[in-house]
Amino acid sequence: MRNPKAEYLSNNLIGSRLFDLRKKKGVTLIEIQECTGYSHSIISRWERGIYTPNVFALIALAEYFEVTTDYILHLE
């Protein structure tokens, strides 16, 4: 059974991690879009916890930010 509260918390944790990584690197959503191929609007939605990036997006983001997917997912 789907747990909306747990999903919301998970999305927000991932989103806050992506936001922090972006700010730390000093890049814009457009710059991430240009390097990953994901639109700036979807990246913004990931950061705000509206959506969760799929596994392919997580890999692209991890490579872009030079971190592990586990780091983005708060597993390490």
**Token pair belonging to 63:** 């490579």
What are the extents of the domains in the chain?
A: 4-72
Which residues are CB-neighbours of 29 under 8 A, at least 6 positions away?
22, 40, 43, 44
- The pLDDT assigned to 23 comes to 97
| Six token digits for residue 38 | 């994901």
pLDDT in tens, 18-38: 999 999 999 999 999 999 999
Which percentage of the chain shows pLDDT scores above 70?
Answer: 88
Fold designation for 4-72: 434 Repressor (Amino-terminal Domain) (1.10.260)
pLDDT of residue 1: 57
**pLDDT of 48 strictly over 90:** yes
pTM: 0.85
